[in-house]
Structure 1
Amino acid sequence: MIGLEILKNRIKDAPQSSGVYLFKNKKDNPIYIGKAINIKRRLSNYGNLPKLPRRLQKMVSQTVNIDFELTESERNALLLEALLIKKFSPRYNIRLKDDKSFPLIKITKGDFPRLTRFRNEFSNEDKVFGPFTSALKTDKVIKILQKSFKLRSCSDLEFKNRKRACLLYDLKQCSAPCVNKVSQNEYKNQVDDTVKFFQGGQKKIFDKLEKQMVYFSESQNYEKAAELRDSIQSLNFIIREEVKISTQDTNYDYIHIDDKKHFSIYIGFIRYGRYLGGNLIYYSEKFEDDIDLTSLIIQFYLKNFRPNKIIISKKINGYNELKSIMRDNYKIDVFLKSSKINGVQKISKLTAKRNDKEVNLQKQKFINNQEILTLMKNRFNINNKIERVEAYDNSFFGNNYAVASYVVFNEEGFSIKDSRTYKFKDYDLKKFGDADLMRKVFKSRFSKDDKILPDLIIIDGGQPYLKICQEIIDESGISESIKLIGVSKGFKRDFRFDRYHTLSEKNLSLKDSPQIEGFIQKMRDQAHKLSKKNSMKRMSDSLKTSFLDDISGIGKIKKMRVINFFGSVQNLKKANRDELAQIKGLNSKNIKAILDKING
């Protein structure tokens, strides 16, 4: 039994109590997870297929089993649902807009703490700041803080094994505690200043730096005075990027919810009275029965750093359950917006404005994406609406490091989380060619029946590649029609002379359709970029290790210590005996073997 038949059969046995239900595919993997006060009644809603969104119709058609997990209350069902969604990432559940965690900055524990970016894992003894809205912004803040307060950024292993100061010390971006260029007490003061800066003590830090700058200037140490001046200017850049919300050192997340014109959730991060930024975590133009804003909020905090307090702009269904779950399970207090909370009116207006701006950008992006997908549908006579486009390419370096990738495009744009990369070990390009490589990729892509299929595939190659792809699709028993388009590189690899093919037509001209031509080229370029990036990474990883791989007596730990000490294989090849002798764990036999390899 499969699909609607299994659903009807399981409804008969379904309990009339609260809990979670899991729709599963042939491999017994959850493809959809939901919660209900009455599981039997909730499952009955899925039996009326015509009224379901296409997403859920596909889900039901792939279902071969439905499991139940009972709970004592609706509250427990809500939490269990969120935990299971996090664990299994079921394909057909409504997801957060960016299914990722936000970066933070931490100062680690220890005598000489490290300043670094991270996303989730940290010790209770670490000092954690953020979150920030992008890795790029976080790295910029870290760079400014390093320049200003000179905390180390190296790994603990590198720190313990280093015998000479690194380049950051020469650039005046680290005080080099690894080689005792700074005392433990002096370094502690640097750490304290960094923490004070994060915790709202910017004025005290600026006053301190300005006094030091004046002192060094009057002492005619102009280089040091200029260094402090640059630090003040850089730190001011961080302050300008933030918005002061409150005169108090308040820390909370503010959740703006809009469920009138559309459905959106925007979360603003307030730390020590300042707005660090925010993000639109969910947006939908249309209502779907299984939209549950409370569940989406819980899912967000299961993946992200949790504050001590959350303020919500309005009451939503399940608010009391959300409040209870956050308090009892995560020690987070949840409040509704109130004028009594310092700065709440300012953050309310700010997040509402940012939410509207982000939603409008999403709407316009959605319209533009729909327009190009419609143009593609009409130009290539595709019967169904295009919901998913995939583009394939491969990359090599010489005859090695074979990698193939595909990128995915839908109405929301490029979907990073749906893109995939295939790595091939010891693939002989000269012997088998890249056509055989793509055959392996297509076999892997279409061999599993529970995968979401594309409506259109773009392949970097001519008709032979299209025929290989169609052959694999047919062998896989896929009944859905998938349109295939090939792109042959133009004269001297000039994109203006690219040629386009389908299975039935060669050398199609798209000069009359610049939008379509531009879209196909963009898809091809994104696939090429992804495969090349991963191929380069394979080569880089290989170069880092292969030089030491065949040296007897050099295991994984020693290899890591050597590479961390010198920073690169290029530096290692210039090493002498005295430098190698400084590395912990290397004996005279190891040193001789490495030098023999270098001089070999």
Structure 2
Amino acid sequence: MKKPDYIPDSPGVYLFKDKVDNIIYVGKSLSLKKRVSQYFMQTDQDTKTRALVNSIANLEYMVTPTEIDALILESNLIKEHRPRYNVNLKDDKQYPFIKITVNEEFPRIFLTHRRVQDSAKYFGPYISAWAIRETLKTISRIFKIRQCKKKIRPGVRTCLNFQIGLCSAPCSGMIDKEEYRNAVKSTIQFLEGKNEILIQRLKDMMQYYASQQKFEAAAGIRDQLQAIELLSRRQQVTGGFSDWDAISIAMSDDIACVQVLYIRDGSLIGHGEYTLDVMDASEQEVMSTFMKQYYRDAPIPTEILVDIMPDDPTIIHWLKSISAGKVEIMIPGRGRKKELVEMASKNACSLLKVTHLKQERIEKTGSGVLIELKDILGLEIVPEYVEGFDISNIGGTDAVGSMVVFANGIPDKQRYRHFNIKNVTGIDDPAMMKEIISRRMKWITDTDDTVPDLIVVDGGAQQMNAALKAIQHSGITVPVIGLAKKLEQIYVPGAHNPLILPDTSPALKLLKQIRDESHRFAISHHRLRRSSRLRASVLDNIPGVGKKRKQILLTHFGSLKRIETATLDELEQVHGISKIIANVIYNRLHNNISSKSL
């Protein structure tokens, strides 16, 4: 790409894209014009920058009012797109928030790990999810704010939470709107730190239980008070000289390991471990990138103790702009603070060693197996990205398909997919396999998704050929094989006989793992779909037959069809079904059967 003709001399964010329009790098600068021009004018670039510039095919930029705004936008875009040439935080921990849906008629309160732009109120983020859960229990007992998603239908049966005193049951009309809103306001005041009255009330309750020798109840109140105290240390009110984070980074090759120690009120209460892809970045750049990604959601202390300063001076201004109080980044020279940074450094070095050992183990086991698989199957490339498919149904009903993904020999469960069979009726596994492979190929074509290096289908020659036809029809080139269960035979297109590998073969073990995982995933979805269908049955409309009796009948007879054809005497023999109920069931089912036959 040539140097762009015009870029404004303003603060902003720039995005470099490759030839297929993927974002490969996101950066920010006080002057977009000067910063972007440097990429195309410098001759003494490092390896990473040269590779980046050679990959650039297109450029986009966004002007922002200030450099701090650019930093925030840059952090958001890196987190969303995870560009290849940016330093990326792998262990991107989402700290929890408490959310109150004040925009609803009867607001709910619950824990969430995502803060979105809506009209709800959020409190946090918090370090301790345990403290949040304990405090939500306390709020439920005292303010009785609902946490469920039930629709408001006055007059319906109240739930268990109401009966045990954890909810005021607005969904059943047990409390009026004004009274419930007052309870919500009290909850918000508590979460805002105005909790003196509530804490005093809990202390009085604890003393009362102790005086009554109800020590277990008193201990429960004590735990609630401790949870409230811990929860009160949230980002908005964190203050004092003794709230610190100690951060250290250990780097080697293209990996950086980060250790964060959490010190609150002078006590070490926990730690966090993170790894980053760094690609020739300096320690200062890594520290900057980590802080921008980490403190986007994490609680911000008053002091951040480091062993190397970030290279971006705008970070401190950004941290102060999103924190309620004073924030300082410093390299301590002596005393307790220096000891904490040294402790973080030792732990970061230890984490780096463990990370390298894990990578070496994966390379020794994973890469070797994949190379063996490539040679056995005669593939052109090592199958680092493999997709496995299977079909599950009973007599052609509730038919589903599954897709599992193995990246470098390891399951990548975030990429797993289910398919509900739409176009095939009856028992026809090959046709079902062709349908799900066709839909997968169409998705790859429409979305430019990753093309697998190999497709493994559960089954023999028929399933393999069905998959092959779907792939050929799509125009995408992907090698496909079938793995039959009985003799573990590998079916390859064009081969006269299936391959049979020894049981000790690592390649066969990997293929079996892929096949069995796709089978497990298909079975689990099939059972879920089948149980959902069974829950919606003719039994639902019979007076006196609720969830418990329906389960008794299904367990006794095994299927709805057997229940429908059962005689009155057979129904009366079912334990838990009275003669009166059996008679009602028999008459209703036989009326339905008669209606169907008409």
- TM bracket, shorter-chain basis: 0.5 to 0.7
Number of the residue aligned with 1:444: 442
1:407 aligns with one of 397, 405, 410: 405
Cα gap change, 1:258 to 1:540, in 2 (>3 Å): farther
Cα gap change, 1:35 to 1:338, in 2 (>3 Å): closer
Contact 1:253 1:270 in 2 (8 A): yes
TM-score in terms of structure 1 length = 0.64
Number of the residue aligned with 1:174: 166
Q: Secondary structure at the match of 1:364?
A: helix
Number of the residue aligned with 1:101: 94
Deviation at 1:438, TM superposition (A): 2.9
- Write the deviation string for residues 25-53 of structure 1: whole angstroms up to 9, x where unpaired: 677554543456531332578999x9559
Which ranges in structure 2 are unaligned for 5 or more consecutive residues?
A: 552-587, 593-598
Q: Secondary structure at the match of 2:500?
A: coil
Contact 1:250 1:271 in 2 (8 A): no
Please tell me whether residue 258 in structure 1 is matched to residue 210 in structure 2.
no
Larger RCO, structure (CA 8 Å, separation 6 or more): 1
Q: Secondary structure at the match of 1:22?
A: strand
Contact 1:200 1:249 in 2 (8 A): no
Q: Secondary structure at the match of 1:509?
A: coil
Number of the residue aligned with 1:487: 483
Deviation at 1:167, TM superposition (A): 1.8
Q: Which moved more, 1:447-456 or 1:70-79?
A: 70-79
1:435 aligns with one of 420, 424, 433: 433
Cα gap change, 1:54 to 1:308, in 2 (>3 Å): same
- Write the deviation string for residues 107-145 of structure 1: whole angstroms up to 9, x where unpaired: 6669997542112337898472553577xx689657865
2:504 aligns with one of 497, 506, 512: 512
Aligned pairs (5 A) from 1:225-264: 226-229=216-219, 232=222, 254=245, 256-261=247-252, 262-264=255-257
Number of the residue aligned with 1:581: none
Contact 1:392 1:527 in 2 (8 A): yes
Number of the residue aligned with 2:458: 460
Aligned pairs (5 A) from 1:82-101: 82-88=75-81, 90=83, 93-99=86-92, 101=94
Deviation at 1:256, TM superposition (A): 1.8
For 1:387 and 1:465, how far apart are their aligned partners in 2?
A: 23
Cα gap change, 1:285 to 1:319, in 2 (>3 Å): closer
Which ranges in structure 1 are unaligned for 5 or more consecutive residues?
A: 1-6, 491-496, 552-568, 575-595
Deviation at 1:320, TM superposition (A): 0.8
1:212 aligns with one of 208, 212, 220: 208
Structure of larger gyration radius: 2
Deviation at 1:258, TM superposition (A): 0.7
Aligned pairs (5 A) from 1:539-550: none
State the AA in 2 paired with 1:214: A
Contact 1:197 1:205 in 2 (8 A): no
Q: Secondary structure at the match of 1:435?
A: helix
For 1:67 and 1:330, how far apart are their aligned partners in 2?
A: 31
Cα gap change, 1:351 to 1:226, in 2 (>3 Å): same
State the AA in 1 paired with 2:328: F
2:387 aligns with one of 384, 387, 390: 390
Contact 1:460 1:486 in 2 (8 A): yes
Contact 2:199 2:225 in 1 (8 A): no
Aligned pairs (5 A) from 1:63-462: 65-69=58-62, 78-88=71-81, 90=83, 93-99=86-92, 101-106=94-99, 114-121=108-115, 126=121, 128-132=123-127, 141=134, 145=138, 151-155=144-148, 158=151, 161=154, 163-170=156-163, 172=164, 174=166, 176=168, 178=170, 179=174, 208=204, 210-217=206-213, 226-229=216-219, 232=222, 254=245, 256-261=247-252, 262-267=255-260, 277-284=270-277, 287=280, 292-302=286-296, 304=297, 307=300, 309=302, 311-328=304-321, 334-337=327-330, 348=341, 351-352=344-345, 355-356=348-349, 358-380=351-373, 381=375, 384=381, 387-395=384-392, 399-400=397-398, 402-410=400-408, 413-417=410-414, 419-421=415-417, 423-424=419-420, 426-430=422-426, 433-447=431-445, 450-462=448-460
Q: CA RMSD in A?
A: 5.8
Contact 2:110 2:136 in 1 (8 A): no
Q: Secondary structure at the match of 1:365?
A: helix
For 1:538 and 1:47, how far apart are their aligned partners in 2?
A: 60
Contact 1:310 1:332 in 2 (8 A): no
For 1:459 and 1:53, how far apart are their aligned partners in 2?
A: 42
For 1:158 and 1:415, how far apart are their aligned partners in 2?
A: 37
Contact 2:17 2:58 in 1 (8 A): yes
TM-score in terms of structure 2 length = 0.64
Cα gap change, 1:175 to 1:34, in 2 (>3 Å): closer
